[in-house]
Amino acid sequence: MKPLNIGLIGYGFMGRAHSNAYRKVNNFFDLEYQPVLKAICARNAENAAAFAKKWGYESVETDWRKLIARDDIDAIDICTPNNSHAEIAIAAAKAGKIILCEKPLSMNGPEGLKMVQAVEKAKVPNIVWYNYRRVPAVTMAKKLIEEGRLGKIFHYRAKFLQDWTISPDLPQGGAALWRLDVKAAGSGVTGDLLAHCIDTALWLNGSMDSVSAMTETFIKERKHTLTGKKQKVGIDDACAFLARFKNGSLATFESTRYARGHKALYTFEINGEHASIAWDLHDLHRLQYFDHKDEGKLRAWRSIHVTDHGGDHPYMDKWWVPGLQIGYEHSFIHQVADFLAGLAKGKPVGPTFRDALETQYVCDAVLKSARTKKWEKVKQ
Ligand SMILES: NC(=O)c1ccc[n+]([C@@H]2O[C@H](COP(=O)([O-])OP(=O)(O)OC[C@H]3O[C@@H](n4cnc5c(N)ncnc54)[C@H](O)[C@@H]3O)[C@@H](O)[C@H]2O)c1
Dist CA 213 CA 372 (whole Å):
9
Taking a C-beta distance cutoff of 8 angstroms, is the pair 218, 375 a contact? Answer: no
191 in contact with ligand 1, CB cutoff 6 A: no
186 in contact with ligand 1, CB cutoff 6 A: no
List the chain domain ranges: 2-132, 133-350+357-372
65 in contact with ligand 1, CB cutoff 6 A: no
Give distance in angstroms: CA of 193 to centre of ligand 1.
14
Taking a C-beta distance cutoff of 8 angstroms, is the pair 207, 259 a contact? Answer: no
Nearest residue (by CA) to ligand 1, atom 6, is 14
> Does residue 51 carry a pLDDT above 80?
yes
CATH architecture of 2-132: 3-Layer(aba) Sandwich (3.40)
Where residue 42 falls among pLDDT bands split at 50, 70, 90? very high
Summarize the confidence of residues 347-353 as an average pLDDT.
Answer: 98
Give distance in angstroms: CA of 287 to centre of ligand 1.
30
Give distance in angstroms: CA of 305 to centre of ligand 1.
32
Encode pLDDT of 139-160 as tens digits: 999 999 999 999 999 999 999 9
Listed in sequence order, the DSSP H helices in 2-69 are: 13-28, 45-55, 64-69
249 in contact with ligand 1, CB cutoff 6 A: no
Q: Do domains 2-132 and 133-350+357-372 have the same CATH topology?
A: no
Q: Please report the atom of ligand 1 found closest to the CA of residue 44.
A: 37
Please give the pLDDT value at position 267: 98
> Does residue 262 carry a pLDDT above 80?
yes
CA distances from 144 to 31, 132, 149 (A): 27, 16, 6
43 in contact with ligand 1, CB cutoff 6 A: yes
Please give the pLDDT value at position 328: 97
> Does residue 137 carry a pLDDT above 90?
yes
Share of the chain above pLDDT 70, in %: 100
Give distance in angstroms: CA of 59 to centre of ligand 1.
19
Dist CA 31 CA 170 (whole Å):
45
Q: Please report the atom of ligand 1 found closest to the CA of residue 129.
A: 1
Q: What mean pLDDT value characterizes the chain? A: 97
Cβ-Cβ contacts under 8 Å for 232 (sequence gap 6 or more): 220, 221
131 in contact with ligand 1, CB cutoff 6 A: yes
Dist CA 100 CA 119 (whole Å):
11
Q: Please report the atom of ligand 1 found closest to the CA of residue 78.
A: 11
Ligand 1, from 14, 77, 106, 266: best to mutate by most atoms within 8 Å of Cβ? 14
Please give the pLDDT value at position 176: 83
Summarize the confidence of residues 208-226 as an average pLDDT.
Answer: 97
Where residue 310 falls among pLDDT bands split at 50, 70, 90? confident
CA distances from 129 to 14, 17, 76, 240, 298 (A): 10, 11, 13, 23, 40
133 in contact with ligand 1, CB cutoff 6 A: no
Encode pLDDT of 55-86 as tens digits: 999 999 999 999 999 999 999 999 999 999 99
Q: Please report the atom of ligand 1 found closest to the CA of residue 15.
A: 16
Superfamily name and number for 133-350+357-372: Dihydrodipicolinate Reductase; domain 2 (3.30.360.10)
> Does residue 311 carry a pLDDT above 80?
no
> Does residue 320 carry a pLDDT above 90?
yes
Global model pTM greater than 0.95: yes
245 in contact with ligand 1, CB cutoff 6 A: no
187 in contact with ligand 1, CB cutoff 6 A: no
Dist CA 101 CA 86 (whole Å):
9
Strand 275-280 to strand 265-272: parallel, antiparallel, or no bridges (unpaired)?
antiparallel
Q: Please report the atom of ligand 1 found closest to the CA of residue 82.
A: 41
Q: Which amino acid is at 218?
A: F
18 in contact with ligand 1, CB cutoff 6 A: no
**How many beta carbons lie within 10 A of that of residue 169, not counting itself?**
7
Give distance in angstroms: CA of 81 to centre of ligand 1.
4
Nearest residue (by CA) to ligand 1, atom 15, is 13
Please give the pLDDT value at position 175: 87
